[in-house]
A and B are shown apart, each in its own frame.
Chain A
């Protein structure tokens, strides 16, 4: 790996480590209470006391960004993990199912997959109604089709792959060949995709929260904070800027790590 790429990977991993720390130990990194209001200290610019300034209710923006990590990123990770498992099961089953069943299932999946995650999540929220839980469900459902498609393609390819056929000729049983050769391959590809996919989920959650369809005040959540920042954009730019930077940095880092994993995976198999 070239030096530049190594630096990039290192930076991405560092950011992800910081994000993880913020999600797991928010109190240690930002001891200020994110819900503590102070009307007289509202809309203060960033300073030594308040690194990211204060919002309309005088709450410390830095603290809110840190404490919101768990919600914004955590839900995204949970959604991705659930979607991966669901997609793997559905996709693998479809891959070994009889042709007509597989064809119909994939057609439906293709229709879903053609839409960006945010749009699908929006539709699900439209049906279920607003709310933090519904947003989580929506983002999970929206993420599933991509994993289904990949799991199914991989399963089909690997089941027909020469090395699986070679193993069968040698006398390895069908189920053993499946678990030893097909499943690890599929799992590996899916996991790499998930690392990239976390970014999409985080963005979808932020978008829904920004529209006011997710968690409600006073809960700290990055998308929600951006929505609040919109109204005072001319006078207090910091409320909108910092949560956005947090989102962007997290998604960029996850994507970079995911892409490098994918390159390594493809390089090894090729």
Chain B
């Protein structure tokens, strides 16, 4: 008997069918992954498994542990949730009650479903913390979510979902908010959970993560399952073109060509910066060549954004030197394009402001705006919209267009594609490559995503805790990493 059986699941919200004909079954000890881009219906499907989906849910079969849950009332669902099926969400910082201690959060399913005394519940939550490899469980149980690091918080969230010993565990993007090295450990934990007999439904848009955790995979697009099968088969030899394009978007071969690079444009010598006594960048030394794409890679808190901002000139180093040879115009493409535009202004107006600041005379501005929009492949009528009315990919292009309005020869990009879906990401990366060739730009590409940096950069700086731990041509750094952190980073991002 399967732990979970779903046949012909459909969910209709507001008259639109957002999930159509999804069918799958999960055995105990098996992990099935549901992948797709945003809007594919994966999270909606997951919420239907818990009876939390909005709108109308229909299925020819939906059974949990052999029990038909299709016509369950709310109170029947409440008995089943937490007890037979558990949920692990993204980002434990907001998925755990910030005002309650970890121990209390973990013990809650026990308080709801069992008659254990408070002391017994406490015992059990400590056991659960140990089972998810939480260091110093007694101390941690007394702490609050914000006092734990991201990885430990996620473990606590998983422990809380397992407290009721559910047959099925639904994990909805459980590692997306985490750094790569931490992600790897959590994924290993999920694999262990599956191996010890729980049926795991793993939802993600990240194929690399799916490779590590799942046995079988379902690919969803626009509410339908377009391909399914064992992970080894689907990810190596997908039968559908869409699946192929999705996978291709996540894999990049490191750039081999390094010719055409000129003289040093910028030299950084022992650049350091602290904020309120806490060092953000320490003794960073590097060289930027004309026409080069320099990648700066690191996890959150590594100092990469601070370094980029110093290069642009928004911050100045406390110590050390950033020496530019000659006159160069440097522009920044922000990490968050929505925040970087005045929300009340249309995109066109923001572009005109950038042109005005660059000294373009009034009568030429409209023409230049049209040129810039065309250059970044944006339809001209989009210039009359406000940033909030554009899609993520369109906004990113608009941000690039605005940076180009000042005619820079050095372009610094801070996580330009991190928030985009894989297919959109590809297009923006191609655009950046084309712009670099056409305008002969020198680019600095800051990211936490190794694959992306590898695909676009000539040289790379690897940063950890404010220091550059390794640097060099991207192909050699990736083929033979010297520093342990680089090795860990590479191991985490590869299957």
Contact = CB atoms under 8 A, between A and B. Distances in A.
A172 interface: yes
Interface in B330-365: 331-332, 334, 336, 339-344, 353-354, 356-358
A7 interface: no
Given A162-B334, A185-B344, A169 B405 contact: no
Contacts of A172: 353, 356-357
A265 to B, nearest CB: 10
Interface string A189-227: 000000000000000000000000000000000000000
B269 interface: no
B94 interface: no
A166 B340 contact: yes
Contacts of A185: 344
Nearest to A188: B344
A165 B334 CA distance: 10
Nearest to B399: A166
B314 A165 contact: yes
Contacts of B356: 172
Contact of B354 (A161, A170, A180): A170
A170 B331 contact: yes
B342 A181 contact: yes
A170 B406 contact: yes
Nearest to A185: B344
Contacts of A264: none
A27 interface: no
Dominant SS among interface residues on chain A: helix
B312 interface: yes
A5 interface: no
Contacts of A181: 342
A76 B356 CA distance: 43
Given A165-B314, A184-B344, A185-B344, A170 B402 contact: yes
A260 to B, nearest CB: 18
Interface string A161-180: 11101110111100000001
A65 to B, nearest CB: 41
A180 B354 CA distance: 13
A40 interface: no
Contacts of B402: 166, 170
A145 to B, nearest CB: 27
A169 B342 contact: no
A162 B358 CA distance: 19
A167 B334 CA distance: 12
Given A162-B336, A171-B358, A268 B353 contact: no
Contacts of A180: 353
Given A169-B331, A170-B405, A171-B358, A162 B353 contact: no
A23 to B, nearest CB: 33
A49 interface: no
Interface residues on A, range: 10 to 19
A1 interface: no
A269 interface: yes
A104 B343 CA distance: 32
Nearest to A176: B357
Contacts of B313: 169
A172 B351 CA distance: 12
Contacts of A166: 332, 334, 340-341, 402
A77 B14 CA distance: 44
Interface string B375-408: 0000000000000100000000000001101100
Contacts of A269: 343-344
Contacts of A170: 331, 353-354, 357-358, 402-403, 405-406
Nearest to A166: B340
A166 B350 CA distance: 10
Interface in B106-155: none
Contacts of B343: 163, 268-269
Given A169-B332, A170-B357, A171-B358, A268 B339 contact: no
A163 B357 contact: no
Nearest to A169: B332
Contacts of A171: 354, 357-358, 406
B353 A167 contact: yes
Contacts of B388: 268, 270
Of the listed residues A162, A166, A184, A269, the one surrounded by the most CB atoms of chain B closer than 10 A to its CB is: A166
A167 to B, nearest CB: 7
A170 B334 CA distance: 12
Contact of B340 (A163, A184, A268, A270): A163
Interface in A141-166: 161-163, 165-166
B331 to A, nearest CB: 7
Nearest to B406: A170
Interface in A220-270: 268-270
Contacts of A165: 314
Interface string A15-29: 000000000000000
15 contacts: A161-B339, A163-B339, A163-B343, A166-B402, A167-B342, A169-B332, A170-B331, A170-B358, A170-B403, A171-B357, A171-B406, A185-B344, A268-B344, A268-B388, A269-B344
Interface of A: 161-163, 165-167, 169-172, 180-181, 184-185, 268-270
Please name the 3 residue pairs, one residue from A and one from B, whose CB atoms are nearest each other, closest first. A171-B357, A162-B339, A166-B340
Given A162-B336, A169-B313, 4 more contacts: A162-B334, A167-B353, A169-B331, A171-B406
